[in-house]
């Protein structure tokens, strides 16, 4: 009987172990189902993340293209600004020149009006200076210049100007 008791005890021990193993198996089956569920959710999240990444890449490329366009537009606007600034400066200079010309014309008109209102202007011809004859003739003394155009020159007394001290005595 002892044997049977030992067998019964062993059997009870095996039954308890089988029950524990069944519980562990059941728990593991539940864990596997939970992990499968989490895996499926994770795969869905991964797919969703991949879609989001592709959308972000597309958006990033759009932003890069927009940046390139913006840079080109800014550069174009700078060039247009420079051109317009140059044209403005040229037009301001032209306006300034035209204003100066208008002032000159106004002054000329004022001067002309003033001269027309006064007595008729007298034109005085400029006197021509006497010309010396390049060749001295034998008829004319050497010390007297030949005067043309009936110009008269006052000749002073040579003794009044000459005191005789500045002549060379050897002559």
Q: Answer with the residue of higher pLDDT: 77 or 154.
A: 77
Closest C-alpha among 132, 137, 168, 124 to residue 153: 132
* pLDDT at residue 171 greater than cutoff 80: no
CA atoms within 13 A on the CB side of 135: 2
pLDDT at 72: 94
Whether 129 contacts 148, CB under 8 Å: no
Please tell me the least confidently modeled range out of 13-22, 50-59, 124-133. Answer: 124-133
Cα 158 to Cα 42, 105, 154, 161: the distances in Å are 135, 57, 12, 5
Q: Which two tokens stand for residue 153?
A: 């020159």
Q: pLDDT tens, 105-123?
A: 999 988 887 777 664 555 5
pLDDT at 155: 46
pTM: 0.39
Cα 8 to Cα 19, 84, 95, 139, 151: the distances in Å are 16, 109, 124, 185, 175
Q: What's the rounded Cα separation, in Å, for the pair 14 and 18?
A: 6
Q: Where are the domains of the chain?
A: 9-89
Please tell me the least confidently modeled range out of 34-38, 63-67, 90-94, 154-158. Answer: 154-158
* pLDDT at residue 24 greater than cutoff 80: yes
Q: Answer with the residue of higher pLDDT: 54 or 171.
A: 54
Tell how many helices (H) and how many strands (E) occur in the chain. 2, 0
Mean pLDDT for 77-102 is: 96
Q: What is the 3 state secondary structure string of 108-148?
A: HHHHHHHHHHCCCCCCCCCCCCCCCCCCCCCCCCCCCCCCC
Q: Answer with the residue of higher pLDDT: 5 or 31.
A: 31
């Amino acid at each position: 009987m002892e044997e049977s008791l030992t067998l019964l005890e062993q059997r009870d021990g095996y039954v308890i172990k089988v029950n524990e193993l069944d519980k562990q198996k059941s728990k593991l089956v539940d864990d596997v189902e939970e992990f499968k569920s989490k895996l499926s959710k994770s795969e869905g999240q991964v797919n969703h993340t991949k879609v989001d990444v592709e959308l972000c890449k597309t958006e990033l490329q759009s932003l890069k293209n927009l940046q390139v366009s913006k840079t080109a537009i800014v550069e174009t606007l700078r060039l247009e600004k420079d051109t317009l600034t140059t044209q403005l400066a040229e037009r301001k200079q032209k306006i300034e020149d035209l204003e100066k010309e208008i002032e000159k014309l106004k002054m000329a008109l004022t001067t002309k009006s003033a001269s027309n209102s006064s007595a008729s202007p007298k034109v005085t011809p400029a006197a021509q200076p006497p010309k010396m004859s390049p060749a001295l003739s034998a008829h004319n003394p050497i010390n007297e210049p030949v005067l043309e155009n009936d110009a008269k020159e006052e000749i002073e007394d040579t003794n009044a100007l000459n005191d005789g001290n500045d002549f060379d005595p050897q002559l």
